[in-house]
Amino acid sequence: MIAVIGGAGYIGSLMVKRLLAMGERVVVFDNLSRGRRAAVRGAELVEGDLRRPADLAEFFGAHSIECVMHFAALASVAESVRAPELYYDNNVLGCVHLLQAMRAHGVSRLIFSSTAATFGEPDAIPIREDHPQRPTNPYGETKRVMEQMLRWHHGAHGLSSVTLRYFNAAGADPQGELGEHHEPEEHLIPNVLAAALGRRDAVQVYGTDWPTPDGTCVRDYVHVDDLCQAHYLALARLREADACEAFNLGNGDGCSVLEVIRAAEEVTGRSIPWRAAERRPGDPARLVAAAERARAELGWQPRFPELGSIVGHAWAWHQAHPHGYGEGE
């Protein structure tokens, strides 16, 4: 059985769907602080919190777990700068408790959802896996610490793990069932589409004087469905052999904020207003992945690398779910 920690969230819920489609047995563990009950479909949902060891002991004691997929970290750069204590509590302490519970119950495989934010301001573009990790915000720092914990646990306790460093996760379920819904929403594409739907007056563009071609931040957007594909390939890798390794996941092409807005205007056929705002603390100017290693060693082949497909799937979901998963879900 695969335990999807944080399986009621954006990426975790799509991962649950893929695992079930592949015939896997799945159980979800989520505290529902950021996830949505309605996003968990076809799998058992156990409500619990990584920060409470008793919740984890009960969960692992009641289920025969082969591998853990960890999606339950808090993941907002801006929030982490405002409230770093939340990120050390949930991400770092929560990971300590998870690893202790896994070891106590003989679970030795873990796939970890990490981030390009561990790299900080890059020395070179595209960013390779061996680039120095110098995070510029508490979110990236806590993920870097979590990655290091996995490496130390491999040597000390035989924990086998694959870390997947997402660049900018985006898009929605190609079948239109699941999508991105945060409160408050800080990610660019959902906010751009909210403006297209008339739910926002304008898109905030945080800085127009970055050292990039059009002055706005450049990011490597990767489709959420392609991220789930990489996780399933990582599961196959752990089933074959012991591992402790990390892979970057991105398309190798950076798009600026203004390019995303223009792409959304093409997809939606609507004009999307935007206004300049101050830079956000902790934001690097450019993050673009070198992901050849994932392609060569995992066999990862993204199905939806084009920005138009990413925005198009997100637009279809947001049109069908203008209020996300609904009140109280």
Task: Note whether residue 194 is domain-resident.
Answer: yes
Question: H-type helices in 105-171, by residue range?
Answer: 138-157
Decide if 20 contacts 173 (C-beta within 8 A).
no
Q: What is the DSSP pairing of strand 2-5 with strand 26-30?
A: parallel
Please report, for the domain that includes residue 289, its CATH number.
3.90.25.10
Instruction: Clarify whether residues 295 and 166 are in a common domain.
Output: no
Say how far apart CA 36 and CA 242 lie, in whole Å: 34
HSE value, Cβ hemisphere, 13 Å, CA-based, for 118: 27
Instruction: Clarify whether residues 127 and 211 are in a common domain.
Output: no
Please report, for the domain that includes residue 18, its CATH number.
3.40.50.720
State the amino acid at position 225 in one-letter form: D
Task: Note whether residue 183 is domain-resident.
Answer: no
pLDDT at 54: 98
Decide if 117 contacts 289 (C-beta within 8 A).
no
Instruction: Clarify whether residues 100 and 163 are in a common domain.
Output: yes
Q: Which residues are catalytic?
A: 139
Instruction: Clarify whether residues 133 and 98 are in a common domain.
Output: yes
- Interval 150-164: pLDDT, tens: 999 999 999 999 999
Q: How far does the chain reach from its first CA to its final CA, in angstroms?
A: 26
pTM, two decimals, is 0.94
Instruction: Clarify whether residues 34 and 155 are in a common domain.
Output: yes
Number of domains in the chain: 2
Instruction: Clarify whether residues 232 and 311 are in a common domain.
Output: no
Last residue of a domain, one of 229, 249, 269: 249
Instruction: Clarify whether residues 313 and 236 are in a common domain.
Output: no
Instruction: Clarify whether residues 96 and 124 are in a common domain.
Output: yes
pLDDT at 326: 64
* pLDDT < 70 positions in the chain: 326-329
pLDDT at 184: 83
Parent domain of 260: 188-218+252-320
Instruction: Clarify whether residues 141 and 262 are in a common domain.
Output: no
